[in-house]
Chains A and B, each alone.
Chain A
Amino acid sequence: MNKPINIHTPLTDEICEALTVGDIVLLTGDVITGRDTAHRRLSDAVLAGDPLPVTLAGATLFYAAPTPARPGQVIGSIGPTTSSRMDRYTPMLIERGLRGMIGKGKRSAEVRDSMKRYKAIYFGAMGGVAALLAGCVRKAEVVAYADLGPEAMMHLEVVKFPLVVVNDVRGGDLYEDAAARYRR
């Protein structure tokens, strides 16, 4: 297993180009969260030509909706949701500057194509280890669509958040490579 690579947001061309499928990454910096309904709203806003409630240029988007924080906690448990549900909206967001995505599971061919074209990276976060991942979140606040409750978009400040590069800017795919390697 490769040694973890420390990276900081914002993700630049240089950072994205240096990452390869299978790299273990510890991500520090700013991340925004958004999942199903937030994506639908972002896409509606783009199509209507309305301003977006978050800045996409250089952003890293985490497909997640945490449990509510208890009094005194920064955040509740947090982990990735299945990314493929966001696929139909993703190329549109990548075209508008989205650089990093964090989720779990496979992406569509269209998403992978636009990642190649615009040098974006898709990171896998481990699913179902949300109590552990919450320990990497230092700050969390709702920044858009508060009416969506758990699905509201949040800004997170994370420190050494453990990720794996699933799709890189060269079109590689960890899930395909890994399964082929261990298939019997």
Chain B
Amino acid sequence: MCSVREISCKAIIETVRRLFLEANTELGDDVLRCLNAAVSREASEIGRYGLEKIQENARIAREMSVPLCQDTGLAVLFVEMGQDVRIIGGNFTDAIQKGVRQAYRDGYFRKSVCDPLSRRNTGDNTPAIIHSEIVRGDKIKIVAMPKGGGSENMSRCFMLLPAAGTEGVRAAVVESVADAGPNPCPPVIVGVGIGGSMEQSAILAKKALLRPLGESHRNDPRLQRLEREILGEINKLGIGPHGYGGFITALAVHIEMMPCHIASLPVAINIQCHATRHKEAVI
């Protein structure tokens, strides 16, 4: 018989709190490296100026421990729950919400969540969006991702005809980034989910954003090629950093894919601004 490991809600609350505090104030090293490379490749002077301001902002935010962006996001979490874990000392979902509430209070982050129709603010940045999956093992992996509204608003879902194929996917992604133009705070990272169902493609697109910048798809050469080609096309659009013109409109295109229905070709495009924030921990 396999043993069960107990994990306390207290540990979950503390982890979620810490991850959101860090995510909102510290830009990841992968993003910083990618920005460095982008500055040297950007031929547009105003584009370079815009990229340098992003680097300077990241330094200030880290040193002063203040939010990188005023939009400290909707709190999105990806949780991988080991099937041999038993949660003690309370309710798992409540613990996550509590950790989010504490991070947004203690970090002096903006509370950006409201009732969709009355627009009344919930006051504590909850409810968080929790995507969970049950996996092998006796640990919990938590990824905290504060997601800004400006870039989220430029995201799209398409139910393409299967006949549209790879070309259809390519056109949908490039068109979405072109239409978004300066709105989602370029340079952006483009998460693409292909396949699954309507909602699964969107979840894949969001998950694709969690991949470290600079890494291509882990094993599918078709997707590795498609990521490279789409990035090339996007960077020919001329939008540039902040939309002020240039060649660095996107830092990366990340694609995730899974099988879908024989009648469908779902494609979701989740746009992430340069303030790409996610931190993870394993308890």
From 45 to 103 in chain A, residues with beta carbon under 8 angstroms from any chain B beta carbon are 64-70, 76-79, 81-82, 84
The reply to whether A181 and B238 contact each other, CB–CB distance below 8 Å, is yes
The reply to whether B246 and A127 contact each other, CB–CB distance below 8 Å, is no
The reply to whether A106 and B110 contact each other, CB–CB distance below 8 Å, is no
Interface string of A1-45 (1 = CB under 8 A from B): 100000000000000000000101000000000001100100000
Chain A residues whose C-beta falls within 8 Å of the C-beta of B158 in the assembled complex: none
Smallest CB separation, A93 vs chain B (Å): 19
The reply to whether B182 and A129 contact each other, CB–CB distance below 8 Å, is no
CA–CA, A175 to B246, complex, Å?
11
Q: Does B230 contact A (CB under 8 A)?
A: no
When C-beta atoms are compared, the residue in chain A nearest to B48 turns out to be: A1
Chain A residues whose C-beta falls within 8 Å of the C-beta of B68 in the assembled complex: 77, 128, 130-131
Smallest CB separation, B239 vs chain A (Å): 5
CA–CA, A140 to B174, complex, Å?
41
Chain A residues whose C-beta falls within 8 Å of the C-beta of B49 in the assembled complex: 1
The reply to whether A106 and B67 contact each other, CB–CB distance below 8 Å, is no
Interface string of B70-107 (1 = CB under 8 A from A): 11100000000000000000000000000000000000
Smallest CB separation, B51 vs chain A (Å): 10
The reply to whether A69 and B108 contact each other, CB–CB distance below 8 Å, is yes
The reply to whether B240 and A182 contact each other, CB–CB distance below 8 Å, is yes
When C-beta atoms are compared, the residue in chain A nearest to B119 turns out to be: A37
The residue that B237 contacts in the complex, of A64, A68, A81, A183, with Cβ under 8 A, is A183
Q: Does A112 contact B (CB under 8 A)?
A: no
- Which of B12-20, B52-60, B127-135, B216-224 faces chain A? B52-60
Check A67/B64 contact, CB under 8 A, given A132-B57, A175-B243, A184-B236.
no
The reply to whether A66 and B110 contact each other, CB–CB distance below 8 Å, is yes
Q: Does B44 contact A (CB under 8 A)?
A: yes
Q: Does A171 contact B (CB under 8 A)?
A: no
Smallest CB separation, B261 vs chain A (Å): 34
When C-beta atoms are compared, the residue in chain A nearest to B53 turns out to be: A129
Q: Does A105 contact B (CB under 8 A)?
A: yes
Q: Does A150 contact B (CB under 8 A)?
A: yes
The residue that B183 contacts in the complex, of A64, A76, A104, A131, with Cβ under 8 A, is A104
CA–CA, A84 to B61, complex, Å?
28
Chain A residues whose C-beta falls within 8 Å of the C-beta of B64 in the assembled complex: 131
Smallest CB separation, A106 vs chain B (Å): 6
CA–CA, A106 to B68, complex, Å?
23
Chain B residues whose C-beta falls within 8 Å of the C-beta of A127 in the assembled complex: 69, 150, 185, 242, 273
Q: Does B196 contact A (CB under 8 A)?
A: no
The reply to whether A182 and B246 contact each other, CB–CB distance below 8 Å, is yes
3 tightest Cβ-Cβ pairs between the two chains A and B:
A178-B245, A182-B238, A127-B185
27 contacts between A and B (CB under 8 A): A1-B45, A65-B110, A67-B108, A70-B66, A76-B66, A76-B110, A77-B61, A77-B67, A77-B69, A81-B71, A81-B149, A104-B150, A104-B185, A105-B181, A106-B181, A106-B183, A128-B54, A128-B57, A150-B111, A164-B46, A175-B182, A178-B243, A178-B246, A179-B237, A179-B240, A180-B238, A182-B247
